[in-house]
């Protein structure tokens, strides 16, 4: 009887495995953890929802990612996995799941691909939102250029960046997730036809900050050879939390969990692990401390010192030169994204006072003793420089956008590329400014900047990726289509050759010179094409350098 039962179990298991195998008729690959089956579309071979770590649930909540256990049979990888648990951008309703650590691989439809360059995308979203799924980031145009594209999910918000300085919550769990994904790609990409020695990481906003941090971290810097940082630097004032205690206290108050007893966090996390994840991912504004909320937008949970991924602060790590080549850039009117905080959340009068009081000058990574008098002096100069010495109003909102752009994005970008370019034996670094303005500038429309010049934060994304919303644009204007082609070609060339313009042609009419600290070379990308130039944002850079020179 026992033998019959064992035989029956064996038959059932075999039938299930066979059914799974037969159910997926797409391309198959054998990765380290087991066999996967993908799907072939008109654009690429897609392997979606590949788990790269164990689900961070139960006792693994807030722990660093753990290796994925092998599976038996063939794992169907034809659909994206859940996005990571987060609070929806506009409704603040929780969405997604904690079981979300997966990635997607997109392979060109060529016979026996071999040693193809690989581009790994890290999404943005202020470290609290987003995913790597293709409704937002469809890489079909990049794949058409002969590269393998990889997109990934990582933990967000409180679940991804809570830092109590203990093994229960070491901090930077989201960055460690990304690192785990990079290790997975390095180990497995060859079976998809990719070259593990030709991996380029790229990202935007918080994803760009992540990219820069990977170039600084002793853990991950050897898992790729090139990096593209779009509108985000680890040296931006919003990119790094110097202290996490206040936000931690707010989290404990919201969840009614006990505070740690000295270094003992066991009771704290026994309680926190029982809390519904949706409550933990409440709107981030609930966790921001008053002294950090002057801008209406600094982040409660973001990268912080953890002693492992970030053994020191980003500014200190940036001085330790390494050999990674980077392409760094920003959009010409990044600050348009802050218009809702000006017009709705805080108002013109509040922001006028912030600027007059020198808000943000003490967060520019400058080693300086900041007195109230000095900040007020700087504030008066900023009011004159950006606002023509007027109170903020709709009439001079363009000046506010300049101020916000430089303070929030450009200054950190300049610090990052100048530091890297000044290293001995530095590899080529490239700087760009994206200034195109077409129907694809979705962020500019979303944040109320359509009457202003320039490209808003995140406006470049629809030129690199296919957004689901863009399927309605059947008759895309020529300038938008040409900018798309140029952007994709530049990015793919950099991944392939380490040079975005190895040669000029009808599409790429200018050579993009490598950056030097003497000439500040950059490439301007706009509706008319691409144009090599020098010293972007020169007037605002001189202003900041002048006031910082007074720092004692």
Residue 3 is encoded by which pair of tokens?
């033998």
Q: Is 285 a catalytic residue?
A: no
Residue 90: C-alpha distances to residues 205, 243, 283, 402 (Å): 18, 28, 10, 25
Q: Is 457 a catalytic residue?
A: yes
Name the nearest CA neighbour of 156 among 186, 122, 190, 187.
122
Q: Alpha-carbon distance 328 to 386, whole Å?
A: 25
Helix (H, G, I), strand (E, B) or coil at 116: strand
Q: Alpha-carbon distance 204 to 199, whole Å?
A: 17
Q: Which one from 87, 131, 134, 205 is the annotated catalytic residue? A: 205
Name the nearest CA neighbour of 402 among 442, 342, 344, 487.
342
DSSP 478: H
Tally of CA atoms within 13 A in the half-sphere of 213 that contains its CB: 33
Q: Which one from 354, 457, 460, 520 is the annotated catalytic residue? A: 457
Tally of CA atoms within 13 A in the half-sphere of 52 that contains its CB: 29
Residue 7 is encoded by which pair of tokens?
């035989």
Residue 245 is encoded by which pair of tokens?
């205690």
Q: Alpha-carbon distance 315 to 72, whole Å?
A: 46
102, 46 Cβ separation under 8 angstroms? no
434, 525 Cβ separation under 8 angstroms? yes
Tally of CA atoms within 13 A in the half-sphere of 382 that contains its CB: 29
Handedness of CA 312, 130, 144, 191 (dihedral sign): positive
Q: Is 334 a catalytic residue?
A: yes
Q: Which one from 334, 354, 385, 520 is the annotated catalytic residue? A: 334
- Longest Cα separation, the chain: 92
Residues marked active site are found at 205, 334, 457
């Amino acid at each position: 009887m026992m033998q019959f039962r064992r035989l029956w179990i064996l038959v059932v298991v075999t039938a299930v495995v066979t059914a799974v195998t037969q159910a997926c008729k797409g391309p198959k690959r054998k990765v380290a953890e087991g066999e996967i089956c993908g799907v072939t579309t008109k654009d690429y071979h897609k392997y979606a929802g590949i788990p790269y770590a164990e689900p961070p649930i139960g006792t693994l909540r807030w722990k660093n990612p753990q290796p994925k256990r092998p599976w038996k049979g063939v794992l169907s990888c034809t659909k994206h996995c859940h996005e990571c648990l987060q609070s929806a951008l506009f409704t603040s309703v929780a969405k997604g799941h904690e079981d979300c650590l997966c990635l997607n691989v997109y392979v060109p439809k060529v016979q026996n691909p071999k040693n193809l360059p690989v581009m790994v995308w890290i999404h943005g979203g202020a470290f609290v939102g987003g995913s790597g799924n293709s409704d937002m980031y469809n890489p079909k145009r990049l794949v058409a250029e002969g590269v393998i594209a990889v997109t990934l999910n990582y933990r967000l918000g409180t679940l991804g960046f809570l830092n109590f300085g203990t093994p229960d919550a070491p901090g930077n769990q989201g960055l460690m997730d990304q690192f785990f994904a990079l290790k997975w790609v390095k180990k497995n990409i060859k079976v998809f036809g990719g070259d593990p020695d030709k991996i380029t990481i790229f990202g935007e906003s918080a994803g760009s900050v992540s990219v820069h941090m990977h170039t600084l971290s002793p853990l991950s810097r050897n898992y790729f050879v090139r990096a593209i940082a779009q509108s985000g630097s680890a040296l931006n004032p919003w990119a790094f939390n110097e202290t996490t205690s206040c936000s931690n206290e707010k989290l404990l108050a919201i969840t009614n969990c006990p505070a740690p007893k000295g270094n003992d966090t066991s009771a704290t996390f026994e309680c926190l692990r029982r809390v519904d994840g949706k409550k933990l991912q409440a709107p981030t504004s609930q966790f921001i401390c008053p002294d950090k909320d002057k801008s209406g937008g600094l982040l409660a949970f973001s990268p912080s010192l953890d002693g492992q991924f970030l053994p020191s602060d980003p500014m200190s790590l940036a001085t330790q030169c390494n050999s990674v080549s980077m392409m760094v850039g920003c959009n010409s009117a990044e600050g348009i994204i802050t218009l809702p905080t000006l017009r709705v959340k805080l108002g013109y009068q509040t922001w006028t006072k912030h600027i007059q009081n020198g808000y943000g000058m003490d967060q520019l990574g400058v080693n300086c003793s900041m007195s109230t008098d000095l900040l007020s002096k700087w504030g008066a100069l900023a009011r004159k420089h950006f606002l023509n010495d007027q109170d903020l109003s709709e009439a001079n909102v363009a000046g506010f956008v300049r101020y916000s752009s430089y303070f929030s994005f450009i200054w950190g970008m300049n610090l990052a590329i100048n530091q890297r370019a000044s290293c001995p034996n530095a590899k080529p670094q490239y700087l760009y400014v994206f200034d195109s303005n077409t129907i694809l500038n979705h962020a500019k429309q979303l944040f109320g900047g359509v009457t202003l010049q320039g490209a808003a934060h995140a406006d470049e994304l629809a030129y690199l990726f296919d957004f689901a919303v863009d399927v309605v644009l059947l008759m895309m204007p020529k300038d938008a289509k040409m900018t798309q082609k140029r952007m994709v070609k530049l990015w793919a060339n950099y991944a392939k050759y380490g040079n975005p313009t190895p040669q000029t042609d009808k599409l790429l009419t200018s050579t993009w010179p490598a950056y030097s600290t003497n000439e500040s070379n950059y490439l301007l990308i706009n509706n008319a094409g691409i144009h090599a130039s020098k010293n972007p944002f020169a007037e605002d850079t001189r202003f900041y350098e002048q006031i910082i020179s007074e720092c004692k």
